[in-house]
Amino acid sequence: MIKEEKPSLLQRFITWRENNIKEKQFILILSFMVGVLTACAALLLKFFIHTIKDFLTDNFDTTEANYLYLVYPVIGIFLCSLFIRYIVKDDISHGVTKILYAISRRKGRIKAHNMWSSMVGSGITIGFGGSVGAEAPIVLTGSAIGSNLGSVFKMEHRTLMLLVGCGAAGAIGGIFKAPIAGLVFTLEVLMLDLTMSSLLPLLISAVTAATISYIMTGTEAMFKFHLDQPFEMERVPYVILLGIICGLLSLYFTRAINSIEGVFGKLNTPYKKLILGGIMLSVLIFLFPPLYGEGYDTIELLLNGTSNADWETVMNNSLFYGYGNLLLVYLGFILLLKVFATSATNGGGGCGGLFAPSLYLGCITGFIFSHLANDFKVFSFLPEKNFALMGMAGVMSAVMHAPLTGVFLIAELTGGYDLFLPLMIASVSAYLTIIVFEPHSIYSMRLAKKGQLLTHNKDRSILTLMSVDNIVETNFVVVHPEMDLGELVKAISSSHRNIFPVTDRVGVLQGVVLLDDIRNIMFRQELYHRFTVSKLMTSVPAKLYNSDSMEKVMGIFDETQAWNLPVVDDQGRYLGFVSKSKIFNSYRQVLVHFSED
């Protein structure tokens, strides 16, 4: 007698939950749990980074260059690359891109190690001076928490996608104390559709994470900001001009990042990448210490300084100490070189994101713009701190293609709600500038090139969620060129289809035989040995590859006006057929599932 195995405790809980708690209510419970766990992860990562940084740099002499800046960054990216290569054994870079891919192609499933690996990798990288941000890694961590929590409780993939968004919203809400920005980021950047069933879980995660951050770190905004000069409408043209400059700077940042990443991608060993990245990063940080780490100290300084004496302290710890007259030149070099420091960090083997660099560049851009305008007396007075704030909103909006995120994030980060109108003007101006040149954000352009990006365009989104592998039909009888008509008739008698793919002996597609083309001779037995398949087959109007995106597949169907098309692999081997009717049926099923509220 076989003894029945008892269900596990988790399985018993899942069964109890299904019987006693409605799914919508359970999703709200899960979103709260995601918010709590994500906030804890964000606080832990910040503590990790600041502990390492303070330990390494607290004893530095502010009046002279510190040669340890040549060593720390190399150690950081070396340790991080070892951690990734030998412990994680998986790529953990491009966190937001990974989330977009998980939503578009993996039905909301993110690997379990992402719940901790990005935190460790980015903590080491940034603590030792890597010129990147911690936000994208914590967003990936939060999304991984949401995805894996949903998987534990056997939630369906539509719910997993929502929990991925909850994790991202919680991460932004927790690390920045910015719940509205967390919600808007999820809708704008991750491109989740806003429905009544998705809004509440996202809000719960974001608000929960932000509340825990407030409890643990105080209720002050992340950057202390006091509005000394109210906004005047006469400054609107200057805000628009600043927004355009931010958009162009973001274009430079985006394209330079991609170009430099391409250079690192061509290096075939991790040690070559480490040497190139380490040398670039350490030299840049030695010459310009504000490039060390996230750069939030510099932002704090520019937002709260009131005189040149305050702002010149940005040159502490460097060879430029005491040369206050070169402040704008110094900041200008940082503006141009930040992209190299960021790319060297990630390309050399480190781990980090682009949130902090975009905020950093925006702050410096706004400061330089207003300071130059004041020096040349273009306007009566442009408050540097106000324009630094607008620059942060502008660059972030343009880099991420997310103007609302830029506005709400900067307002919540600094408490600068009195500048809401100019923040919106700068963000929109910057966004409209960059989309002239780049239709996709720095996060989504890699997936967009492959046709793997989920967007707010419902039709494209549904096609993205579909794949050729799921709709290919394989119940076709395969024939070979050397077979005669008699053998072909036998094959026809065993098939329920009117198309017969012709392949050679290794499976490469040669053409097709259509039943309609041979109907007039198929019952004439005297011809059975006279004709071979090679004489009766015809070429196909087009071939589909199993790696093609569904958007490309639909374009080929529209172009050829065919009803059935063969699918082959990269070597041309026959895999099956795709029919329009199968596509339409699958499209309708995905549409119904995708649109359920």
pLDDT at 553: 83
Contact at 8 Å (CB) between 125 and 345? Answer: yes
Residue type, 134: A
Per DSSP, the three-state class of 352 is: coil
pLDDT at 250: 95
Give the separation between CA 65 and CA 452, rounded to whole angstroms. Answer: 47
Over its length of 597 residues, how does the chain's per-residue pLDDT go in tens digits? Answer: 445 556 778 788 878 887 888 888 899 999 999 999 999 999 999 999 999 999 998 888 777 778 888 999 999 999 999 999 999 988 887 777 777 777 766 567 888 999 999 999 999 999 999 999 988 899 999 999 999 999 888 888 778 888 999 999 999 999 999 899 999 988 888 766 666 677 899 999 999 999 999 999 988 878 877 777 888 888 899 999 999 999 999 999 999 998 998 899 888 888 999 999 999 999 999 999 999 989 898 999 998 887 888 888 888 888 888 888 889 999 999 999 999 999 999 999 999 988 899 999 999 999 999 999 988 877 778 888 899 999 999 999 999 988 999 999 998 888 777 888 999 999 999 999 999 998 878 777 765 555 444 444 444 555 555 667 778 888 888 888 888 888 888 888 888 888 899 998 888 998 888 888 888 887 788 777 888 888 888 888 888 888 887 778 888 888 888 888 889 988 889 988 988 877 777 666 665 554 444
pLDDT at 194: 63
User: By C-alpha distance, which of 216, 143, 225 is closest to 177?
Assistant: 216
pLDDT at 364: 96
Task: Find the helix or strand (DSSP H, E) in which 372 lies.
Answer: helix 355-375
CB atoms within 10 A of CB 273: 22
pLDDT at 458: 47
Q: How many residues does the chain have?
A: 597
User: Can you say whether the dihedral through the CA atoms of 160, 172, 190, 101 is positive or negative?
Assistant: negative
| b/e sequence 186-208, b meaning 16+ C-beta within 10 Å | bbbbbbbbeeeebeebbbbbbbb
User: By C-alpha distance, which of 478, 440, 476 is closest to 460?
Assistant: 440
> What are the chain's domains?
9-217 (1.10.3080.10), 233-455 (1.10.3080.10), 460-595 (3.10.580.10)
User: Can you say whether the dihedral through the CA atoms of 462, 468, 470, 476 is positive or negative?
Assistant: positive
pLDDT at 63: 76
Contact at 8 Å (CB) between 198 and 28? Answer: no
pLDDT at 96: 79
Distances 499 to 251, 469, 477, 506, 518 between C-alpha atoms, Å: 51, 20, 8, 20, 11
